[in-house]
Amino acid sequence: MSAPEVVLEGKIILAGEFHDVCIGIDDGLITVIGKDLKGDRHIDMSRFLILPGGVDIHTHMREPGYTHKEDLYSGTMAAALGGTTTILDMPNTNPPANTYVALEEKMSMASWNSNVDFGLYAGLTPSANVSVLAELALGYKIYMAGTTNAPPITQDEIAELMANDDLAGKVVAFHAEDPLLFGDEENTGLATHDRNRSAKAENSAIQFLSTLDTKAILHVTHVTNAEGLAMCGGMSTEVSPHHLFLNMEHGIQQFAKVLPPIRNEETRHGLFSAFAQGSVGIVASDHAPHTLEEKGEDFGEAPAGLPGVETRIPLMLAMAKKADIPLGLVQETCCRNPAQLFNIPKGQIELGYDADLAVYDMGDIRTIRTDDLHYKCGWTPFEGHEAIFPKLVMLHGEIIAKDGEMELERIGRRVEQRD
Protein backbone atom coordinates (compact mmCIF):
# COMPACT_ATOMS: atom_id res chain seq x y z
CA MET A 1 0.00 0.00 0.00
CA SER A 2 1.36 3.43 -0.86
CA ALA A 3 1.85 6.07 1.81
CA PRO A 4 -1.18 8.20 2.66
CA GLU A 5 -1.30 11.68 1.15
CA VAL A 6 -1.58 13.26 4.60
CA VAL A 7 -0.87 11.96 8.07
CA LEU A 8 -2.21 13.81 11.12
CA GLU A 9 -0.55 12.71 14.34
CA GLY A 10 -2.10 13.33 17.76
CA LYS A 11 -4.12 11.96 20.65
CA ILE A 12 -7.59 10.52 20.10
CA ILE A 13 -10.20 9.22 22.52
CA LEU A 14 -11.28 5.64 21.98
CA ALA A 15 -13.61 3.92 24.44
CA GLY A 16 -12.82 6.59 26.99
CA GLU A 17 -9.02 6.25 26.76
CA PHE A 18 -6.45 8.51 25.12
CA HIS A 19 -4.38 6.92 22.37
CA ASP A 20 -1.42 8.37 20.45
CA VAL A 21 -2.11 7.68 16.81
CA CYS A 22 -1.39 8.69 13.24
CA ILE A 23 -4.45 9.23 11.04
CA GLY A 24 -3.79 8.58 7.35
CA ILE A 25 -5.91 10.48 4.85
CA ASP A 26 -6.44 9.92 1.13
CA ASP A 27 -8.95 11.66 -1.12
CA GLY A 28 -10.53 13.33 1.89
CA LEU A 29 -11.24 10.09 3.73
CA ILE A 30 -9.65 8.42 6.73
CA THR A 31 -7.93 5.42 5.16
CA VAL A 32 -5.62 4.18 7.90
CA ILE A 33 -5.19 4.65 11.64
CA GLY A 34 -1.99 3.38 13.17
CA LYS A 35 1.27 4.13 14.92
CA ASP A 36 4.25 5.75 13.19
CA LEU A 37 2.64 6.17 9.79
CA LYS A 38 4.60 7.98 7.11
CA GLY A 39 2.64 10.19 4.74
CA ASP A 40 3.54 12.44 1.82
CA ARG A 41 2.75 15.21 4.27
CA HIS A 42 3.03 14.82 8.05
CA ILE A 43 1.25 17.15 10.44
CA ASP A 44 2.66 16.71 13.93
CA MET A 45 0.05 17.51 16.57
CA SER A 46 1.31 14.79 18.87
CA ARG A 47 0.90 16.91 22.02
CA PHE A 48 -2.71 17.74 21.24
CA LEU A 49 -6.19 16.22 21.22
CA ILE A 50 -7.82 15.34 17.91
CA LEU A 51 -11.61 15.17 17.85
CA PRO A 52 -13.81 14.39 14.88
CA GLY A 53 -15.07 17.59 13.25
CA GLY A 54 -18.18 18.70 15.11
CA VAL A 55 -21.66 18.12 13.71
CA ASP A 56 -24.17 20.82 14.66
CA ILE A 57 -27.64 19.68 13.64
CA HIS A 58 -29.46 22.84 14.74
CA THR A 59 -28.45 26.12 13.13
CA HIS A 60 -30.30 29.06 11.59
CA MET A 61 -27.90 30.56 9.06
CA ARG A 62 -30.59 33.07 7.99
CA GLU A 63 -30.02 32.84 4.23
CA PRO A 64 -32.09 33.62 2.26
CA GLY A 65 -34.16 36.42 3.70
CA TYR A 66 -32.38 37.58 6.83
CA THR A 67 -28.80 37.99 5.73
CA HIS A 68 -28.39 41.14 7.82
CA LYS A 69 -28.34 38.75 10.84
CA GLU A 70 -26.08 36.04 9.37
CA ASP A 71 -25.50 34.29 6.06
CA LEU A 72 -24.25 30.91 4.96
CA TYR A 73 -20.72 32.22 4.46
CA SER A 74 -20.35 34.06 7.79
CA GLY A 75 -22.22 31.44 9.82
CA THR A 76 -20.21 28.54 8.44
CA MET A 77 -16.96 30.44 8.98
CA ALA A 78 -17.94 30.79 12.63
CA ALA A 79 -18.76 27.07 12.68
CA ALA A 80 -15.36 26.13 11.26
CA LEU A 81 -13.48 28.35 13.71
CA GLY A 82 -15.35 26.65 16.55
CA GLY A 83 -14.41 23.14 15.42
CA THR A 84 -17.70 22.32 13.68
CA THR A 85 -17.31 20.95 10.16
CA THR A 86 -20.92 20.00 9.39
CA ILE A 87 -24.05 22.06 9.98
CA LEU A 88 -27.71 21.40 9.37
CA ASP A 89 -29.73 24.48 8.54
CA MET A 90 -33.26 25.08 9.77
CA PRO A 91 -36.08 25.95 7.36
CA ASN A 92 -37.48 29.19 8.84
CA THR A 93 -35.72 31.37 6.31
CA ASN A 94 -37.52 33.63 3.83
CA PRO A 95 -38.94 32.13 1.71
CA PRO A 96 -39.26 29.20 4.11
CA ALA A 97 -37.59 25.98 3.01
CA ASN A 98 -40.90 24.11 2.83
CA THR A 99 -40.91 23.46 -0.92
CA TYR A 100 -38.62 21.77 -3.41
CA VAL A 101 -37.92 25.08 -5.17
CA ALA A 102 -36.97 26.87 -1.94
CA LEU A 103 -34.75 23.98 -0.86
CA GLU A 104 -33.08 23.89 -4.27
CA GLU A 105 -32.30 27.58 -4.07
CA LYS A 106 -30.85 27.27 -0.57
CA MET A 107 -28.84 24.24 -1.65
CA SER A 108 -27.35 26.20 -4.51
CA MET A 109 -26.41 29.16 -2.25
CA ALA A 110 -24.82 26.83 0.26
CA SER A 111 -22.86 24.99 -2.43
CA TRP A 112 -21.20 28.26 -3.42
CA ASN A 113 -20.71 29.80 -0.03
CA SER A 114 -20.42 27.23 2.70
CA ASN A 115 -17.17 26.89 4.59
CA VAL A 116 -18.24 23.56 6.11
CA ASP A 117 -20.36 20.66 4.91
CA PHE A 118 -24.07 21.24 5.15
CA GLY A 119 -27.46 19.57 5.11
CA LEU A 120 -30.90 21.12 5.04
CA TYR A 121 -34.12 20.60 6.93
CA ALA A 122 -37.41 20.99 5.12
CA GLY A 123 -40.23 22.60 7.05
CA LEU A 124 -43.05 20.09 7.30
CA THR A 125 -46.49 21.58 6.69
CA PRO A 126 -49.85 19.77 6.43
CA SER A 127 -49.76 20.06 2.63
CA ALA A 128 -46.12 18.91 2.23
CA ASN A 129 -45.13 16.39 -0.45
CA VAL A 130 -42.76 14.46 1.78
CA SER A 131 -41.08 12.29 -0.84
CA VAL A 132 -40.33 15.23 -3.14
CA LEU A 133 -38.74 17.17 -0.27
CA ALA A 134 -36.69 14.08 0.63
CA GLU A 135 -34.65 14.49 -2.55
CA LEU A 136 -33.02 17.58 -1.07
CA ALA A 137 -33.68 17.53 2.68
CA LEU A 138 -31.77 15.47 5.20
CA GLY A 139 -34.57 15.82 7.74
CA TYR A 140 -37.79 17.67 8.51
CA LYS A 141 -38.73 20.27 11.10
CA ILE A 142 -42.01 20.94 12.83
CA TYR A 143 -42.55 23.98 15.07
CA MET A 144 -45.41 22.90 17.29
CA ALA A 145 -45.97 26.44 18.52
CA GLY A 146 -45.20 28.16 15.23
CA THR A 147 -42.52 30.79 14.70
CA THR A 148 -41.46 33.25 12.00
CA ASN A 149 -42.22 31.63 8.66
CA ALA A 150 -43.60 28.49 10.29
CA PRO A 151 -47.29 28.88 11.23
CA PRO A 152 -48.57 26.85 14.19
CA ILE A 153 -49.75 23.34 13.48
CA THR A 154 -52.33 21.47 15.56
CA GLN A 155 -51.73 18.14 17.29
CA ASP A 156 -54.32 16.50 15.00
CA GLU A 157 -52.46 17.78 11.94
CA ILE A 158 -49.17 16.50 13.36
CA ALA A 159 -50.64 13.06 14.08
CA GLU A 160 -51.97 12.85 10.51
CA LEU A 161 -48.67 13.98 8.99
CA MET A 162 -46.63 11.54 11.04
CA ALA A 163 -48.77 8.58 9.95
CA ASN A 164 -47.46 9.11 6.39
CA ASP A 165 -45.31 6.11 5.47
CA ASP A 166 -43.12 8.29 3.25
CA LEU A 167 -41.57 9.43 6.53
CA ALA A 168 -40.41 5.91 7.40
CA GLY A 169 -36.81 6.08 8.64
CA LYS A 170 -36.64 9.88 8.19
CA VAL A 171 -35.70 12.24 10.99
CA VAL A 172 -38.41 14.67 12.03
CA ALA A 173 -37.15 17.30 14.49
CA PHE A 174 -39.70 18.97 16.76
CA HIS A 175 -39.68 22.30 18.51
CA ALA A 176 -41.68 20.98 21.43
CA GLU A 177 -43.89 23.57 23.12
CA ASP A 178 -47.65 23.25 23.60
CA PRO A 179 -49.28 26.60 22.77
CA LEU A 180 -52.47 25.62 24.62
CA LEU A 181 -50.52 25.93 27.87
CA PHE A 182 -48.87 29.30 27.20
CA GLY A 183 -49.44 32.11 29.68
CA ASP A 184 -50.27 35.67 28.63
CA GLU A 185 -48.48 37.79 31.23
CA GLU A 186 -46.91 40.96 29.90
CA ASN A 187 -43.47 39.83 28.82
CA THR A 188 -41.11 42.12 30.70
CA GLY A 189 -38.12 39.90 31.49
CA LEU A 190 -36.69 36.40 31.61
CA ALA A 191 -38.93 35.45 34.56
CA THR A 192 -42.21 36.31 32.81
CA HIS A 193 -40.88 34.77 29.59
CA ASP A 194 -40.23 31.54 31.51
CA ARG A 195 -43.72 31.61 33.06
CA ASN A 196 -45.43 32.27 29.73
CA ARG A 197 -43.57 29.49 27.93
CA SER A 198 -43.03 27.17 30.89
CA ALA A 199 -41.34 23.79 31.19
CA LYS A 200 -44.88 22.48 31.74
CA ALA A 201 -45.88 23.62 28.24
CA GLU A 202 -42.70 22.09 26.88
CA ASN A 203 -43.25 18.77 28.65
CA SER A 204 -46.88 18.60 27.55
CA ALA A 205 -45.67 18.76 23.94
CA ILE A 206 -43.04 16.07 24.62
CA GLN A 207 -45.72 13.89 26.18
CA PHE A 208 -47.86 14.26 23.04
CA LEU A 209 -44.90 13.34 20.79
CA SER A 210 -44.24 10.20 22.82
CA THR A 211 -47.74 8.94 21.93
CA LEU A 212 -47.39 9.32 18.14
CA ASP A 213 -47.83 6.31 15.95
CA THR A 214 -45.20 6.79 13.24
CA LYS A 215 -42.41 5.14 11.29
CA ALA A 216 -40.34 8.34 11.40
CA ILE A 217 -37.40 8.89 13.77
CA LEU A 218 -38.51 11.57 16.22
CA HIS A 219 -35.96 14.08 17.45
CA VAL A 220 -36.80 16.54 20.24
CA THR A 221 -34.80 19.74 19.89
CA HIS A 222 -33.44 21.92 22.71
CA VAL A 223 -34.98 20.24 25.77
CA THR A 224 -34.60 22.60 28.74
CA ASN A 225 -35.35 20.42 31.76
CA ALA A 226 -34.45 16.99 33.13
CA GLU A 227 -38.07 15.92 33.55
CA GLY A 228 -38.78 16.63 29.89
CA LEU A 229 -35.63 14.75 28.94
CA ALA A 230 -36.78 11.70 30.90
CA MET A 231 -40.15 11.87 29.13
CA CYS A 232 -38.49 11.56 25.72
CA GLY A 233 -38.18 7.80 26.16
CA GLY A 234 -36.99 6.28 22.88
CA MET A 235 -36.95 9.58 20.99
CA SER A 236 -33.68 11.27 20.04
CA THR A 237 -32.85 14.16 22.38
CA GLU A 238 -30.99 17.43 22.01
CA VAL A 239 -29.94 20.10 24.48
CA SER A 240 -28.29 23.44 23.75
CA PRO A 241 -25.35 25.08 25.52
CA HIS A 242 -27.43 28.10 26.55
CA HIS A 243 -29.80 25.88 28.54
CA LEU A 244 -26.82 24.06 30.06
CA PHE A 245 -24.81 27.16 30.99
CA LEU A 246 -27.16 30.14 31.44
CA ASN A 247 -29.95 30.74 33.92
CA MET A 248 -32.64 33.38 34.01
CA GLU A 249 -30.93 35.32 36.76
CA HIS A 250 -28.33 36.05 34.10
CA GLY A 251 -27.77 39.80 33.72
CA ILE A 252 -28.14 39.97 29.97
CA GLN A 253 -31.97 39.86 29.93
CA GLN A 254 -33.35 40.22 26.40
CA PHE A 255 -30.05 38.99 24.95
CA ALA A 256 -30.82 35.69 26.65
CA LYS A 257 -34.41 35.71 25.34
CA VAL A 258 -34.82 32.48 23.43
CA LEU A 259 -37.47 29.86 22.76
CA PRO A 260 -37.89 27.69 24.67
CA PRO A 261 -36.76 30.04 27.46
CA ILE A 262 -33.70 29.91 29.67
CA ARG A 263 -34.93 28.45 32.99
CA ASN A 264 -34.07 29.09 36.65
CA GLU A 265 -30.84 27.84 38.25
CA GLU A 266 -32.43 24.74 39.74
CA THR A 267 -33.75 23.61 36.35
CA ARG A 268 -30.47 24.45 34.62
CA HIS A 269 -28.60 22.45 37.20
CA GLY A 270 -30.96 19.49 36.76
CA LEU A 271 -30.41 19.56 33.00
CA PHE A 272 -26.65 19.77 33.45
CA SER A 273 -26.67 16.81 35.85
CA ALA A 274 -28.69 14.77 33.34
CA PHE A 275 -26.08 15.62 30.71
CA ALA A 276 -23.24 14.62 33.04
CA GLN A 277 -24.96 11.28 33.67
CA GLY A 278 -25.07 10.58 29.94
CA SER A 279 -28.82 11.11 29.49
CA VAL A 280 -28.50 13.57 26.61
CA GLY A 281 -28.12 12.30 23.04
CA ILE A 282 -26.99 15.39 21.20
CA VAL A 283 -25.70 18.87 22.01
CA ALA A 284 -26.65 21.34 19.26
CA SER A 285 -26.25 25.09 19.31
CA ASP A 286 -29.64 26.34 18.02
CA HIS A 287 -27.52 29.14 16.54
CA ALA A 288 -30.25 31.76 15.97
CA PRO A 289 -28.61 35.17 15.63
CA HIS A 290 -30.38 38.53 15.66
CA THR A 291 -28.60 41.86 15.38
CA LEU A 292 -27.59 43.98 18.38
CA GLU A 293 -30.13 46.56 17.32
CA GLU A 294 -32.96 44.00 17.16
CA LYS A 295 -31.98 42.51 20.53
CA GLY A 296 -31.68 45.99 22.04
CA GLU A 297 -35.47 46.49 21.87
CA ASP A 298 -37.59 46.28 25.04
CA PHE A 299 -37.81 42.73 26.35
CA GLY A 300 -41.30 42.11 24.97
CA GLU A 301 -40.34 43.36 21.50
CA ALA A 302 -36.88 41.79 21.18
CA PRO A 303 -36.78 38.71 18.94
CA ALA A 304 -36.04 35.35 20.58
CA GLY A 305 -32.84 33.55 19.64
CA LEU A 306 -29.11 33.76 20.26
CA PRO A 307 -25.92 32.84 18.41
CA GLY A 308 -23.85 29.80 19.42
CA VAL A 309 -22.38 27.80 16.57
CA GLU A 310 -18.80 29.00 17.18
CA THR A 311 -18.82 28.48 20.95
CA ARG A 312 -20.66 25.13 21.22
CA ILE A 313 -17.67 22.77 21.29
CA PRO A 314 -15.21 25.24 22.87
CA LEU A 315 -17.60 25.75 25.83
CA MET A 316 -18.24 22.02 26.19
CA LEU A 317 -14.51 21.24 26.22
CA ALA A 318 -13.65 23.87 28.82
CA MET A 319 -16.60 22.73 30.96
CA ALA A 320 -15.54 19.07 30.68
CA LYS A 321 -12.03 19.94 31.76
CA LYS A 322 -13.19 22.02 34.72
CA ALA A 323 -16.06 19.80 35.87
CA ASP A 324 -14.08 16.62 35.33
CA ILE A 325 -16.56 15.27 32.82
CA PRO A 326 -15.20 12.72 30.35
CA LEU A 327 -14.14 14.27 27.04
CA GLY A 328 -15.62 11.18 25.42
CA LEU A 329 -19.06 12.48 26.39
CA VAL A 330 -18.39 15.72 24.56
CA GLN A 331 -17.14 13.79 21.53
CA GLU A 332 -20.26 11.61 21.51
CA THR A 333 -22.83 14.38 21.98
CA CYS A 334 -21.21 16.95 19.69
CA CYS A 335 -19.81 14.73 16.93
CA ARG A 336 -20.75 11.05 16.82
CA ASN A 337 -24.40 10.94 17.90
CA PRO A 338 -25.61 13.78 15.67
CA ALA A 339 -23.90 12.17 12.66
CA GLN A 340 -25.37 8.77 13.52
CA LEU A 341 -28.88 10.19 13.80
CA PHE A 342 -28.68 11.30 10.17
CA ASN A 343 -26.55 8.37 9.03
CA ILE A 344 -23.78 10.55 7.59
CA PRO A 345 -20.10 9.46 7.40
CA LYS A 346 -18.93 12.00 9.94
CA GLY A 347 -18.36 12.51 13.62
CA GLN A 348 -16.04 9.55 14.17
CA ILE A 349 -12.36 8.87 13.64
CA GLU A 350 -12.95 5.63 11.77
CA LEU A 351 -11.80 4.08 8.51
CA GLY A 352 -13.90 5.21 5.55
CA TYR A 353 -15.25 8.27 7.36
CA ASP A 354 -14.74 11.81 6.06
CA ALA A 355 -11.42 13.23 7.24
CA ASP A 356 -13.09 16.10 9.10
CA LEU A 357 -10.94 16.64 12.18
CA ALA A 358 -10.26 19.31 14.78
CA VAL A 359 -7.18 19.62 16.98
CA TYR A 360 -7.31 21.15 20.49
CA ASP A 361 -4.67 22.22 22.98
CA MET A 362 -6.52 21.31 26.18
CA GLY A 363 -4.21 23.59 28.17
CA ASP A 364 -5.22 26.65 26.16
CA ILE A 365 -8.32 27.84 28.02
CA ARG A 366 -9.47 31.26 26.84
CA THR A 367 -12.15 33.72 27.78
CA ILE A 368 -14.83 34.23 25.15
CA ARG A 369 -14.87 37.77 23.78
CA THR A 370 -17.28 38.98 21.10
CA ASP A 371 -14.39 40.59 19.21
CA ASP A 372 -12.75 37.21 18.75
CA LEU A 373 -15.88 35.63 17.24
CA HIS A 374 -17.04 35.73 13.63
CA TYR A 375 -20.81 36.20 13.76
CA LYS A 376 -22.39 38.90 11.66
CA CYS A 377 -24.63 39.82 14.61
CA GLY A 378 -21.63 40.98 16.65
CA TRP A 379 -22.47 39.59 20.11
CA THR A 380 -22.51 36.42 22.16
CA PRO A 381 -24.47 35.45 25.29
CA PHE A 382 -21.33 33.68 26.51
CA GLU A 383 -19.07 36.73 26.88
CA GLY A 384 -16.56 35.98 29.68
CA HIS A 385 -17.16 32.21 29.70
CA GLU A 386 -14.19 29.88 29.40
CA ALA A 387 -13.62 27.99 26.18
CA ILE A 388 -11.10 25.92 24.27
CA PHE A 389 -10.98 26.79 20.57
CA PRO A 390 -9.38 24.54 17.95
CA LYS A 391 -5.78 25.03 16.80
CA LEU A 392 -6.41 23.31 13.50
CA VAL A 393 -9.53 22.26 11.60
CA MET A 394 -9.66 19.93 8.62
CA LEU A 395 -12.51 19.31 6.20
CA HIS A 396 -12.10 16.40 3.77
CA GLY A 397 -8.44 16.25 4.74
CA GLU A 398 -7.79 19.92 3.84
CA ILE A 399 -6.80 22.42 6.50
CA ILE A 400 -9.59 25.00 6.51
CA ALA A 401 -8.66 26.82 9.72
CA LYS A 402 -5.50 27.28 11.75
CA ASP A 403 -4.91 29.21 14.97
CA GLY A 404 -8.20 31.05 14.70
CA GLU A 405 -7.88 32.08 11.05
CA MET A 406 -9.47 30.62 7.94
CA GLU A 407 -6.96 29.00 5.58
CA LEU A 408 -9.26 27.71 2.88
CA GLU A 409 -12.76 29.00 2.26
CA ARG A 410 -16.00 27.85 0.63
CA ILE A 411 -15.09 24.19 0.17
CA GLY A 412 -18.14 22.92 2.06
CA ARG A 413 -20.28 20.34 0.28
CA ARG A 414 -23.74 18.92 0.66
CA VAL A 415 -23.55 15.95 3.03
CA GLU A 416 -24.57 12.59 1.65
CA GLN A 417 -26.13 9.84 3.72
CA ARG A 418 -24.44 6.44 3.96
CA ASP A 419 -26.03 3.56 2.09
Residues lying near ligand DOR in the complex (CB under 6 A): 60, 92, 147, 175, 258-259, 288, 304-305
Query: Minimum CB separation from Zn ion for residue 222, in Å?
Result: 7
- Residue window 78-117: x/- pattern of binding to Zn ion, with contact defined by CB under 5 A: ----------------------------------------
Alpha carbon distance 55, 332 (integer Å)? 10
Taking CB under 5 A as the binding criterion, the range among 129-137, 266-274, 280-288, 351-359 that sits at the site for Zn ion is 280-288
String of DSSP letters for 65-110: T-TTT--HHHHHHHHHHTTEEEEEE-S-SSS-TTSHHHHHHHHHHH
Alpha carbon distance 121, 141 (integer Å)? 6
Of the pair 320, 377, the CB lying nearest Zn ion is at: 377
Contact 260, 202 (CB under 8 A): yes
Q: At what angle do helices 72-81 and 100-113 cross, to 10 degrees?
A: 60
Query: Minimum CB separation from ligand DOR for residue 240, in Å?
Result: 10
Enter the DSSP assignment of 336: I
String of DSSP letters for 244-266: HH--TT-TTGGGG--SSPP--HH
> Tell me, what amino acid is at 240?
S
Of the pair 120, 288, the CB lying nearest ligand DOR is at: 288
Cα→Cα distances 383→61, 242, 252, 265, 290, Å: 21, 12, 10, 19, 16
Query: Minimum CB separation from Zn ion for residue 219, in Å?
Result: 12
Query: Minimum CB separation from ligand DOR for residue 174, in Å?
Result: 11
Taking CB under 5 A as the binding criterion, the range among 105-113, 148-156, 281-289, 353-361 that sits at the site for Zn ion is 281-289
- Residue window 237-266: x/- pattern of binding to Zn ion, with contact defined by CB under 5 A: ------------------------------
Backbone angles phi, psi at 4, to 5 degrees: -60, 155
Active site residue 372: no
Of the pair 124, 388, the CB lying nearest Zn ion is at: 124
From the list 26, 286, 354, 356, the catalytic residue is 286
Pairing of strands 84-89, 29-34: unpaired
Of the pair 119, 261, the CB lying nearest ligand DOR is at: 261
Of the pair 158, 288, the CB lying nearest ligand DOR is at: 288
- Assess 286 for contact with Zn ion (CB under 5 A): yes
Provide the annotated active-site residues: 286
